[in-house]
């Protein structure tokens, strides 16, 4: 009897809630929002958002132990290098944007590595290469991540590096359960690089790569991280680790050597920005592709996107055409600014956008822009962001490129070296032409938003050439379409592929527009009528993490990607 009454009471509550929802336009539950998978996370003291819940918890533990946002970001990155080696690790590169709350300044760090001195255009020409291979010893550039950690730590760190790396070391020794997304990427990476020396010994100790739920250990990486924590960054670039990398690469016929590692250093840079409808959106200057997001936003500011409506063919067409224009400039101009005079101020200016915008036809897709090779559409990466109780915020992105990288797994060090040098052009007239000591064009980009001189949002979206497109979409979703921080990342995305590339290849057929499944049939048919070619709906749409500061209430909002395994959490 009591059970029947309880069931009846619950039914009345549910019915009542439904009635309120139907009669009150202000009634709003998360499941009823058009674009939300869940509500935003809100916390008063600190926040972390990463692509792995265990890494998020590591970041929070570091913060609770008195660490800074930078300390927590490094700890989370080290943990992700263990738990998501399919996208990042100490064999790769790093970029970061940091808000220093005490100094009230926004600073950037370019921790990308350079080409080995022996990596010259003549080398590849003499050997008959038409492009740099994607895997093996030849595309390996200097890994910049470890130096990036120590540069960040030297300026903003509070805890000892040994303590910061301790959680990742413990998980590497004791093991962790592999998540479903990473288990899937392990399989695809095994198929393409599993045959290289050292891979199976590190990542297939039981005869195969780990599967979903399987406990995986990497004691080799634990030893490497322990040595770095105890002896510092020089252990990686000038010590025993560097010597072992040198020996391995020599055995494999690679170009990277000890002298290249010893000469490496990161570079502090000034973020660049554009104002989009009152928000100052910041990116890092080239050799990365961040300013493409600023160019896209400048082009789109000339349109009433809110009136077009999210999901409309008119909006998607305009976004795609703006992307094509920005990516033509990306292909022609973006390169290492130590070697090339990149006209950044012109490219991100409003006047330049006004001039370029005239090339967009409101009713027809452009198909005659020169374009081609889609290799830059690849890009498994991790993005994370952390904010601490003092108001410091870190936007950090880190990657090996092409999933696990080159396949070069040196000795028993427990990680794979990146293959970022694949992105050099082999055309002597190209801005991004390969050269010894030059940084290759880079896809990974962190982002930051300021408003009225105050920090607002630290965010990023991993995923190759999807990144600047997604950065623009996140900002547009919030400003033009009124979405909150979580909705802006959950909303269906558009990914245009096939634009001209910084490797020298060009677009000839307008490329392909990939739409996630929730876009309507009506929208798809309208886009096709405009001349757009539509691709599949299961392509690369990126991975989003974000933190927003609410100055009025003194709280942080966090959001994490529904398409990944991630978590935003605070305290």
The DSSP secondary structure of 142-195, one letter per residue, reads: ---HHHHHHHHHHHH--S-HHHHHHHHHHHHHH-EEPPHHHHHHHHHHHHHHTT
Do residues 340 and 440 touch, judged by C-beta distance below 8 A? no
- Strands (E) in 370-520, as ranges, are 381-387, 393-399, 447-451, 454-462, 494-497, 512-515
**What residues contact 52, with CB distance under 8 A and at least 6 apart?**
79, 80, 83, 84, 179, 565, 566, 567
Tokens at 183, concatenated: 């288990």
- Measuring CA to CA, which residue among 81, 79, 187, 52 is closest to residue 564? 52
Query: Which residue has tokens 């105050």?
Result: 454
Out of 274, 381, 497, 503, which one is annotated catalytic?
Answer: 381
Eight-class DSSP state of 374:
-
Query: Which residue has tokens 């990914």?
Result: 495
**What residues contact 291, with CB distance under 8 A and at least 6 apart?**
272, 283, 285, 334, 344, 347, 348
In DSSP terms, which residues pair with 386 in a beta bridge? 48, 394
In DSSP terms, which residues pair with 109 in a beta bridge? 96, 268
Give the Å distances, CA to CA, from 131 to 137, 276, 424, 434, 503.
Answer: 14, 38, 8, 10, 8
Rounded Cα distance, 431 and 298, in Å = 24
What is the CA angle 534-485-447, rounded to 5? 75
Do residues 134 and 402 touch, judged by C-beta distance below 8 A? yes
- Strands (E) in 319-472, as ranges, are 381-387, 393-399, 447-451, 454-462
270 is catalytic: no
Tokens at 454, concatenated: 């105050």
Burial class for 341, CB neighbours closer than 10 Å (0-12, 13-18, 19+)? exposed
Do residues 237 and 262 touch, judged by C-beta distance below 8 A? yes
Give the Å distances, CA to CA, from 285 to 139, 335, 497.
Answer: 23, 10, 22
**Cα–chain center distance at 400:** 11
Catalytic residues: 381
């Amino acid at each position: 009897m009591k059970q029947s009454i309880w069931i009846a009471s619950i039914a009345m509550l549910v019915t009542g809630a439904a009635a309120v929802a139907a009669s009150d336009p202000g009634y709003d539950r998360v499941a009823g929002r058009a674009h939300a998978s869940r509500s935003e996370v809100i916390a008063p003291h600190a926040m972390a958002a990463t692509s792995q819940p265990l890494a998020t918890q590591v970041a929070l533990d570091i913060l609770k132990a008195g660490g800074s946002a930078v300390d927590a970001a490094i700890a989370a990155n080290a943990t992700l290098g263990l738990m998501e080696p399919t996208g990042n690790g100490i064999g790769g590169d790093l970029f970061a944007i940091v808000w220093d709350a005490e100094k009230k300044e926004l600073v950037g760090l370019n921790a990308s590595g350079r080409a080995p001195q022996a990596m010259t255009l003549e080398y590849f020409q003499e050997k008959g290469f038409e492009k740099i291979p994607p895997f093996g010893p030849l595309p390996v550039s200097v890994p910049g991540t470890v130096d990036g950690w120590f540069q960040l730590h030297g300026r903003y760190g509070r805890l000892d590096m040994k303590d910061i790396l301790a959680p990742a070391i413990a998980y590497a020794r004791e093991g962790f359960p592999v998540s479903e997304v990473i288990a899937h990427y392990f399989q695809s990476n095994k198929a393409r690089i599993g045959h290289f020396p050292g891979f199976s010994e590190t990542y297939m100790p039981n005869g195969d790569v780990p599967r979903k739920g399987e406990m995986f250990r990497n004691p080799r990486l634990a030893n490497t991280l322990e040595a770095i924590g105890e002896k510092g960054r020089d252990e990686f670039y000038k010590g025993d680790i560097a010597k072992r990398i040198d020996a391995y690469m020599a055995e494999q016929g690679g170009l990277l050597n000890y002298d290249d590692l010893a000469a490496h250093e990161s570079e502090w840079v000034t973020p660049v920005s554009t104002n989009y409808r009152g928000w100052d959106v910041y990116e890092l200057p080239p050799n990365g592709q961040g300013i493409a997001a600023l160019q896209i936003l400048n082009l789109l500011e000339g349109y009433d996107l809110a009136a077009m409506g999210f999901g409309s063919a008119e909006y998607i067409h305009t976004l795609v055409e703006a992307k094509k224009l920005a990516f033509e400039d990306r292909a022609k101009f973006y390169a290492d600014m130590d070697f090339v005079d990149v006209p950044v101020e012109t490219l991100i200016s409003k006047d330049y956008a006004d001039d370029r915008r005239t090339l967009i036809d409101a009713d027809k897709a452009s198909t005659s822009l020169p374009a081609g090779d889609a290799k830059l559409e690849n890009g498994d990466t991790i993005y994370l962001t952390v904010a601490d109780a003092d108001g410091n915020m870190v936007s950090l992105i880190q990657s090996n490129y092409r999933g696990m990288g080159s396949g070069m797994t040196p000795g028993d060090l427990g990680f794979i070296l990146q293959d970022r040098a694949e992105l050099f052009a082999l055309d002597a007239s190209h801005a991004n032409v390969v050269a010894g000591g030059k940084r290759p064009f880079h896809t990974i980009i962190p982002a930051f938003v300021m408003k009225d001189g105050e920090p607002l949002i630290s965010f990023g979206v991993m995923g190759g050439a999807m990144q600047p497109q997604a950065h623009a979409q996140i900002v547009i979703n919030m400003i033009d379409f009124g979405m909150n921080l979580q909705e802006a990342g959950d909303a269906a995305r558009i990914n245009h592929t096939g634009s001209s590339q910084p490797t020298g290849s060009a677009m000839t057929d307008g490329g392909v527009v990939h739409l996630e499944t929730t876009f309507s049939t009506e929208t798809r048919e309208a886009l096709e009528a405009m001349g757009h070619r539509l691709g599949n709906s299961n392509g690369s749409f990126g991975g989003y993490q974000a933190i927003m500061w609410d100055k009025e209430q003194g709280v942080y909002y966090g959001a994490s990607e529904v398409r990944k395994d991630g978590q935003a959490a605070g305290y």
